[in-house]
C-alpha cells in the first residue's frame, strides 16, 4: 500500500463514487458545439468505461485543402501527451534489465558534462532534473530557419551547459528537455532509433497501427489532421514549428481508435506488470518544495500527472503545441477515460475533457 502512496488511497476512497451509465448525446454535442463545422478545424472525443466506448465523435475537418471530416481514425499530433509513451519506453528498458531509474546521466552518456553526475534517470522522468529549457538555448534565428531541432540537437545543446537550474531532486519544474534526453537514452541503451523502439515494443504489440513518432521525410502520418491557428482573416495552417521534430517530448501522432488500445494496455497491464507500473503512478518526492503548477504543488510520476479531480483518483496529461491541443484523463478507480484531441489552438482540450467528465462522474 505504501508503494502506491496517495494514488492508492484515492483509489480506495474513490470506490464509493459512481459513473453515469449513459449521458444524453445532445449534452455532449453542446460541449463541442464550437467545433462543429464542415469548413474549419475541430477535434475528436472518446469516452471509455471499462474499456467500452460510451461516446465517440469527431467535429470539424482535418485540413483546409481536403476538408475531410475528423473521425476516430484521424491522427493528431499528441504534443506532451507523447511523454507517457517516452516514459513507457524507458520503463521497458528497465523491465529488460538494461537500465535503472537511479542510473546517472553520465553513466549513459560518459561525455556529458560533470553536472550530469547529479541527474538520475528518475529525475528526467518526473521533471526534477533541473535541466535548462532547450527552447531558451536555441539560437534567436531558429524561428525563421527551415531546419528543425531534433532530440540529438537538444542533447548537444545541454552538453554545452555547465549547470542545472536547481539541484536535481530538490524541486519540480516541467521539463521538455528531460524528455528529449530520455528519447536519446532509449536510443543509446537499446541501440535502436527511438521511433523504431516505440514501434517494436509498444505500437506494434498493441496493434496501434496508425500511431507513429513522425519524422519528416522518413515516414508519413496516415489520416493526418493538420494544426491550425485562428487569425483575423480566418484559419491558417500552423502545423510545424522549429521544435516540432523533437520526438521525446511531443512528436507522436495517434488517433482515438489507437489510444483506446493504449488505454486497454494500461488497464490490463499488457506491457508491464502492476508492480512495474507503480513507479509511474507514484508522485515524485521532493527535497525542497516545488515550482507552482496551476497554483499548487505538482504531483507527477513518470509521464503522468497524478492529482485527483473532485475526489476521483486520476492519471492525466495535456498537450499544447503549435496548432494542436490534446488531453487524456484516466480515472483509475472509476475505470473511466476521456480523450480529447483538437487540431486548433483556440480551445483547451483539458477543459473540454473536464466538462465531459462532469457529465459522467457522480459526486
Least confident of 23-27, 241-245, 257-261, 315-319: 23-27
DSSP 8-state assignment for residue 61: B
DSSP 8-state assignment for residue 47: E
The residue whose grid cell reads 458545439 is 33
Which sequence spans correspond to the domains of the chain?
5-360
pLDDT tier at 5 (50, 70, 90 boundaries)? Answer: very low
* pLDDT for the residue numbered 295: 66
pLDDT per residue over 285-327, tens digit each? 886 555 556 667 789 999 999 999 999 999 999 999 999 999 9
The answer to whether 5 touches 283, Cβ cutoff 8 Å, is yes
pLDDT tier at 222 (50, 70, 90 boundaries)? Answer: very high
pLDDT per residue over 256-285, tens digit each? 999 999 999 999 999 999 999 999 999 998
What are the backbone dihedrals phi and psi of residue 316, each rounded to the nearest 5 degrees, phi first? -155, 165
* pLDDT for the residue numbered 270: 98
Average pLDDT for 74-81: 98
CATH for 5-360 (2.70.150.10, 3.40.50.300, 3.40.50.150, 3.40.710.10): 3.40.710.10
Residue 11 confidence (pLDDT) above 50? no
pLDDT tier at 23 (50, 70, 90 boundaries)? Answer: confident
The answer to whether 325 touches 319, Cβ cutoff 8 Å, is yes
| Positions of E strands within the chain | 43-49, 52-59, 76-77, 212-213, 228-231, 234-237, 252-254, 315-321, 324-331, 336-342
Task: List alpha helices for 116-232, DSSP H.
Answer: 121-125, 134-137, 151-159, 176-190, 194-198
What are the backbone dihedrals phi and psi of residue 279, each rounded to the nearest 5 degrees, phi first? -60, -35
Average pLDDT for 83-107: 98
User: How high is the mean pLDDT of the chain?
Assistant: 91
The residue whose grid cell reads 485540413 is 63
* pTM for this model (two decimals): 0.92
Residue 9 confidence (pLDDT) above 90? no
The residue whose grid cell reads 524541486 is 171
Q: Say whether 216 sits in a helix, a strand or coil.
A: coil
pLDDT per residue over 114-143, tens digit each? 999 999 999 999 999 999 999 999 987 654
pLDDT tier at 146 (50, 70, 90 boundaries)? Answer: low
Residue 16 confidence (pLDDT) above 50? no
* pLDDT for the residue numbered 6: 37
* pLDDT for the residue numbered 186: 98
Amino acid at each position: 500500500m505504501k508503494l502506491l502512496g496517495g494514488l492508492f488511497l484515492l483509489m480506495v476512497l474513490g470506490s464509493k463514487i459512481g459513473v453515469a451509465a449513459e449521458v444524453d448525446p445532445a449534452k455532449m454535442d453542446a460541449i463541442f458545439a464550437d467545433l462543429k463545422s464542415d469548413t474549419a478545424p475541430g477535434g475528436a472525443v472518446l469516452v471509455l468505461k471499462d474499456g467500452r466506448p460510451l461516446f465517440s465523435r469527431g467535429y470539424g475537418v482535418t485540413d483546409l485543402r481536403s476538408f475531410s471530416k475528423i473521425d476516430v481514425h484521424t491522427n493528431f499530433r499528441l504534443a506532451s501527451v507523447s511523454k507517457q509513451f517516452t516514459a513507457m519506453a524507458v520503463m521497458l528498458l528497465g523491465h529488460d534489465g538494461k537500465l535503472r531509474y537511479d542510473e546517472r546521466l553520465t553513466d549513459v552518456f560518459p561525455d556529458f558534462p560533470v553536472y550530469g553526475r547529479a541527474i538520475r534517470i528518475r529525475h528526467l522522468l518526473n521533471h526534477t532534473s533541473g535541466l535548462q529549457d532547450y527552447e531558451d538555448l536555441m539560437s534567436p534565428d531558429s524561428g525563421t530557419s527551415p531546419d528543425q531541432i531534433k532530440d540529438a540537437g537538444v542533447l548537444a545543446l545541454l552538453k554545452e551547459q555547465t549547470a542545472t537550474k536547481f539541484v536535481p531532486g530538490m524541486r519540480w519544474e516541467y521539463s521538455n528537455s528531460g524528455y528529449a534526453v530520455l528519447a536519446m537514452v532509449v536510443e543509446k541503451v537499446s541501440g535502436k532509433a527511438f521511433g523504431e523502439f516505440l514501434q517494436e515494443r509498444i505500437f506494434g504489440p498493441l496493434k496501434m497501427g496508425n500511431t507513429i513518432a513522425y519524422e519528416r521525410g522518413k515516414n508519413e502520418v496516415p489520416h493526418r489532421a493538420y494544426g491550425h491557428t485562428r487569425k483575423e482573416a480566418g484559419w491558417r495552417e500552423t502545423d510545424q514549428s522549429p521544435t516540432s521534430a523533437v520526438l521525446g517530448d511531443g512528436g507522436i501522432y495517434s488517433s482515438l481508435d489507437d489510444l483506446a488500445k493504449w488505454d486497454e494496455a494500461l488497464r490490463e497491464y499488457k506491457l508491464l506488470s502492476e508492480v512495474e507500473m507503480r513507479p509511474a503512478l507514484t508522485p515524485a518526492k521532493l527535497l525542497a518544495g516545488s515550482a507552482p503548477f496551476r497554483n499548487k504543488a505538482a504531483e507527477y510520476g513518470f509521464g503522468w500527472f497524478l492529482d485527483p479531480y473532485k475526489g476521483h483518483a486520476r492519471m492525466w496529461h495535456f498537450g499544447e503545441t503549435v496548432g494542436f491541443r490534446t488531453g487524456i484523463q484516466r480515472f483509475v478507480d472509476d475505470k473511466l477515460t476521456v480523450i480529447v484531441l483538437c487540431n486548433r489552438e483556440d480551445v483547451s482540450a483539458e477543459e473540454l475533457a473536464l466538462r465531459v467528465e462532469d457529465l459522467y462522474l457522480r459526486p
